[in-house]
Structure 1
Amino acid sequence: MRKRILITGASSGLGAGMARAFAAQGRDLALCARRVGRLEELRDELTAAHPGCTVAIAELDVNDHAAVPTVFADLATELGGLDRVIVNAGLGKGAALGTGRLDVNIATVETNLVAALVQIESALEIFRAAGDGHLVLVSSVLGNRGVPGVRAAYAASKAGVSSLGESLRAEFAGGPIAVTVLEPGYIESEMTGRAGGSKMMVDNATGVAAMVAAIERERGRAIVPSWPWTPVVAAMKLAPTRLVKYFA
């Protein structure tokens, strides 16, 4: 069992949901986010509900690349090591390309892909030294196909995350590090709420439960929840370009 779990972007949404689920299983947690006040509230909630659970927290902006390895190392020391790192922090904002909002598209790509790479490097250093570990990358179903409009940069960033995960799965096919790429569909959260949601949105509890189950199985790739998103992804890959907009 992976006892000591680090989650980035843990102050709300899917990150906080996964923290609650793992705490209920008796895991020890290292939680990172920019909003340290929310982390403190979550820590107090989890330790009150699960007194045997250790919860370490740290303020972290994943775009502060120099801070990431230091924070990961400090949290690993506090928990006595890390068995699993979930690279979850991300942005869902964006604008149609060429409409004068380069700033938001750059922010999305930098946070979702470049910062994810930094987190991956930092986690793998810890795992290589320990000779074991489980790296989980939270991508998206939109990483499977470029989509038009406001989600174009987001989809591209998540395609990059999925590609990194595939590369690592090949690299560590024989162990000792396990790699899982999660591809969530639209799951109720603070981020999806700001992005406008989707007709195929599932509630947070259902989505988080599917994510945690896939993580625990340590599958190489998992579309979550499986229904309706597995057939949707299959359709996305086969759809003519003119129809792709209906999946965004």
Structure 2
Amino acid sequence: MGKTRNKILITGASSGLGEEMARRFAAQGKDLALCARRLDRLETLRDELIIANPGISIAIRSLDVTDHDAVVRVFAEMRDELGGLDRVIVNAGLGKGAKIGSGRADANLATARTNFIGALSQCEAALEIFRAQKYGHLVLVSSISADRGLPGAKAVYSASKAGVAALGEALSAELAKTDIVVTTLLPGFIATDMSSKAGDNKALTATLDEGVSAMVTAIEKEPRRAALPGLKWRGIDAALRFLPNEVTNRLV
């Protein structure tokens, strides 16, 4: 178990996994810095959380994670507003995609920019803060799809998440002997609007409650890497990473 982290920044907090993680951490009495493109959604969430959890502080900002200068500025502003940051959860992501070469490069490029370049910008901003204060917990939300390139419309999504996972692995190794901890989460299918639009297998899809419960539990333990939720997705993670392509081709 890691140190107590009382001031947590979450990107992509206006919906899905980010929104639900905000609810869980608010219920624990954590002060939150919440970022997303949709400020109106963040305002509604902030009001809900403060009513349910009086005494916590919540800072909100509209943020497009593909704007690097904005990411650096907003992270610094929110650190100052909360009086520090103990944990940053790099969660903002897109699930758009099309077969490569089918004339929808716009969707694929948007996903690549948000999911990988945007994640890199967030890591730059977070680690600048953590290096200065000499501690912190950086959480990267990747995906089980990072284990194996997925064909068709999910190709760029899986590639972008593989980049995030590799980045987390590199930072974990670099910072292993410091008080800056790096955790990479690899969620399987969890019921969100993004999952629904992606056409994920419903039989394998965990509820939002199950998925976020597993994510928050893993985050609090601060492991280097965690595939979730449950034994099922740990097994799928191992299969995709270690079985031959002739076998895994049937799974994707």
TM-score, structure 1 length as denominator? 0.97
CA contact (8 A) 2:239 2:248 kept: no
**1:108 pairs with one of 96, 107, 111:** 111
* Contact residue 139 and residue 158 of structure 1 kept, 8 A: yes
1:43 is paired with a residue of what secondary structure? helix
The answer to whether the 8 Å contact 1:9/1:88 transfers is yes
Aligned to 1:216: 220
Amino acid at match of 2:117: V
Shift of 1:227: 2.6
Match of 1:203 among 183, 201, 207: 207
Q: Distance in 1 between matches of 2:5 and 2:246?
A: 44
Given that residues 147 and 244 in structure 1 are in contact (C-alpha distance below 8 angstroms), is that contact kept between their aligned partners in structure 2? no
- Segments of 5+ residues of structure 2 without an aligned counterpart are none
Q: Cα offset for 1:238?
A: 3.6
> Which has the higher mean CA deviation after the structures are superposed, 220-229 or 201-210?
220-229
Secondary structure of 1:66 counterpart? helix
Using the alignment, how far apart are the partners of 1:90 and 1:26 within structure 2? 26
Q: Which amino acid aligns with 1:146?
A: G
Q: Secondary structure at the match of 2:211?
A: helix
Residue in structure 1 matched with residue 21 of structure 2 by the alignment: 18
**Alignment counterpart, residue 238 of structure 2, candidates 218, 231, 234:** 234
Distance 1:97 1:39 in 2: 34
Identity %: 57
| Distance change >3 Å, CA 247–CA 107, structure 1 → 2 | farther
Q: Which runs of 5+ in 1 are unaligned?
A: none
- Match of 2:204, SS? coil
1:40-89 residue CA offsets vs partner (Å, 9 max, x unmatched) = 00000000000011111000011111100000000000000100000000
Aligned length: 248
State the Cα RMSD in Å: 1.1
* Contact 1:148–1:245 (CA under 8 A) maintained in structure 2: no
- Deviation at 1:145? 1.0
Contact 2:7–2:84 under 8 Å retained in 1 = yes
CA distance in 2, matches of 1:122, 1:246: 40
- Confirm or deny that 1:193 pairs with 2:196: yes
Compute the displacement of 1:235 (Å): 1.6
Q: What letter matches 2:68 in structure 1?
A: H
Equivalences for 1:159-178 in 2 at 5 Å? 159-178=162-181
Q: Does 1:45 align with 2:59?
A: no
Aligned to 1:3: 6
Residues of 1 paired with 2:75 and 2:242: CA distance?
40
Q: Which portions of structure 1, spanning 4 or more consecutive aligned residues, are displaced by more than 2 angstroms?
A: 237-248
Superposed CA offset, 1:159-182 (max 9, x none): 100000000001011012000000
